[in-house]
Amino acid sequence: MTTTDGGRASVSIQDMSKISGLSEATLRYYEKIGLIGPVPRDESSGHRRYGGHAVEMIEALGCLRATGMSVQDMRDYLRFLDGREDSAALMRELFERNVSRIQEEIERMHVRRRYLALKAELWAARERGDADGENRIVPEIAAAREGLR
Amino acid sequence: MTTTDGGRASVSIQDMSKISGLSEATLRYYEKIGLIGPVPRDESSGHRRYGGHAVEMIEALGCLRATGMSVQDMRDYLRFLDGREDSAALMRELFERNVSRIQEEIERMHVRRRYLALKAELWAARERGDADGENRIVPEIAAAREGLR
DNA sequence: TGGCCCACCTGAAGCGCTTGAGGTCAAGCG
DNA sequence: CGCTTGACCTCAAGCGCTTCAGGTGGGCCA
């Protein structure tokens, strides 16, 4: 998992990927756009070696990314963490905003699920030649469509 | 909304966008990738004019897109609609697959919401200098993190 | 010592759109 | 009549990644 390198633990990109849940490509991408890094390299091979501090930070980023948080919010998160400003309130707001975002997404998902489930039922009715069933479902689909924005 | 053009109704891209909920850019994009179209043009201006058949089709696509259905599944949907194959079963399967997809997304969303809500609580506790509260929340966050994949 | 494989590297292209720049056509107004 | 306005056009770039192509360093085996 980790190799010792002059007394300090260092982690390869593959292991960093396993630890954080971010793909190797994403780790390179985040470095390229300046969200993390620059990551120190192994002298001879030029391979990335993530040090203790970076490992924890990127592990946390992996969780935030897994919630669908935007890159901009992750940037703010890192800024609040590291800055000596009184950032507890800003952090709370950042996370509350993201809870609301998820909440809204969940609600939209329910509407979508209902619409798609009705469509599946419609075609199931057609499949078994059930014209009555079809006629019952059609107006329900029309109603469900309204909620889809 | 619609203009009459030699007895046939035709719809501008702006109105098509309002009807379908797809942006004008998306309508052009879908045409470019061959999902819809080619759309006939007004002789003199070169502007797109969507005809009756296309309007209904694109309206339906708008609903499917609003559920997060993939472009490939929308292609299949159109193929099943139009083909003379016995497509009711294929349609049912397509929609059932998409219901499952949404169902899984909803479940993941719940986990994410919990994680983010705990993070918000953590910073709220820090904000009011509540060390006990903090200590109560930290292990809950660790537990919630497990579900984030 | 040569050969092989694996982990890693970079750069470019693709996905599904969105955004923006720059230009055309038709209608309305002073 | 020229001018503005608005709806539309095309082409190119950007977003947040993923995927792919082509190349290098290091360890292990014969």
Cβ A112 vs Cβ B102: under 8 Å: yes
Record: contact B116-A95, CB cut-off 8 A: yes
**Residue A122's Cα: distance from chain center in Å?**
34
What is the structure's pLDDT at B8? Answer: 62
Q: Residue A3: which H helix or E strand, with range?
A: strand A2-5
Tokens (6 digits) for A64: 């935030």
Q: Where are any strands of DSSP class E within A31-93?
A: 50-51
Predicted local distance difference test score (pLDDT) of residue B41: 95
What does the pLDDT average to over A141-146? 94
CA distances in angstroms from A47 to A11, A32, A41, listed in the order given: 10, 15, 5
Sort out which chain B residues have CB atoms less than 8 A from A148's CB and list them. Answer: 21, 63, 66-67
Give distance CA A118 / C1' C4 (Å). 57
For residue B80, count other CB atoms closer than 10 A to its CB.
Answer: 18
CA nearest neighbour of A59 among A51, A100, A96: A51
Return the DSSP state at B4. Answer: E
pLDDT at A1 (0 to 100): 45
Interface test with B, best of A20, A94, A103, A123 (most B CBs within 10 A): A123
Stretch B31-53: mean pLDDT:
93
Asked whether residue A3's C-beta has any atom of DNA/RNA strand D within 7 A, the reply is: no
Residue A82: what pLDDT? Answer: 83
Shortest alpha-carbon distance between residue B119 and chain A (Å): 6
Q: Which residues pair with A2 in a beta bridge?
A: A11
Question: Using the 8-state DSSP alphabet, how is residue B10 labeled?
Answer: E
* pLDDT of A70 higher than 90: yes
What element of type H or E holds A116? helix A88-127
Protein-covered nucleotides of chain D (CB closer than 7 Å) are: 7-10, 15-20, 25-26
Residue corresponding to tokens 């593959």: A14
Tell me what the mean pLDDT of segment B100-126 comes to.
96
What is the predicted pLDDT for the residue at A8?
62
Statement: residue B5 has pLDDT above 70: no
B contact residues 22-61, partner A, Cβ 8 Å cutoff:
none
- Beta strands B2-5 and B50-51, pairing class: unpaired
How far, CA to CA in Å, does A23 sit from each of A47, A58, A65, A131, A141?
A: 16, 12, 11, 49, 40
CA A111 to CA A117: how far, in whole Å?
10
Per-residue model confidence (pLDDT) at position B1? 45
Mean pLDDT value of segment A33-54: 93
**Nucleotide whose C1' lies closest to the alpha carbon of residue B71:** C16
A114 — pLDDT class (breaks 50, 70, 90): very high
